[in-house]
Chain A
Amino acid sequence: MIAAAIIGLVAGIAAGLLGIGGGALFVPALVLLLDLPQVDAEATSLLAIIPVALVGAAQQHRYGNVRLRDGLLVGALAVPAAALGVVVVNAVPERAIEVAFAGLLLFVAAQLVQGARAVNE
Chain B
Amino acid sequence: MPRRRTLALAAIGSVAGLFSGLFGVGGGIVMVPLLVLWLSYGEREAAGTSLAAIVVIATAAALTHGAYGNVRLTEGLLVGLPAVGGVLAGTWLQQRIEPRTVRLLFAGLLVLTAGELILG
Contacts and interface: CB of A to CB of B under 8 A. Distances in A.
Interface of A: 1, 4-24, 26-30, 34, 36, 39-57, 59-61, 63, 65-68, 70-90, 94-95, 97-99, 101-103, 105-106, 108-109, 111-113, 115-116, 119-120
A67 B68 CA distance: 33
B107 A112 contact: yes
B72 interface: yes
Interface of B: 6, 9-10, 12-33, 35-37, 41, 44-62, 64-66, 68, 70-73, 75-95, 100, 102-111, 113-118, 120
Task: Decide if the interface of chain B is mainly helix, strand, loop or mixed.
Answer: helix
Task: Decide if the interface of chain A is mainly helix, strand, loop or mixed.
Answer: helix
Nearest to A68: B52
A84 B18 contact: yes
A54 B26 CA distance: 12
B110 A20 contact: no
A48 B50 contact: no
A12 B82 contact: yes
B16 A78 contact: yes
A15 B22 CA distance: 19
Contacts of A39: 65, 68, 70
A50 B10 CA distance: 21
Contacts of B110: 105-106, 108-109, 112
Contacts of B41: 67
27 contacts: A5-B78, A9-B82, A9-B83, A12-B84, A13-B87, A15-B90, A16-B86, A16-B89, A17-B90, A18-B32, A20-B54, A27-B25, A47-B73, A49-B80, A60-B47, A63-B48, A75-B13, A75-B54, A78-B16, A79-B57, A84-B18, A98-B117, A102-B114, A105-B117, A112-B37, A112-B106, A116-B103
A55 B92 CA distance: 12
B108 to A, nearest CB: 8
Contact of A48 (B47, B55, B60, B80): B80
Given A12-B89, A47-B72, A102-B118, 7 more contacts: A4-B75, A19-B32, A23-B26, A44-B24, A60-B91, A83-B21, A84-B17
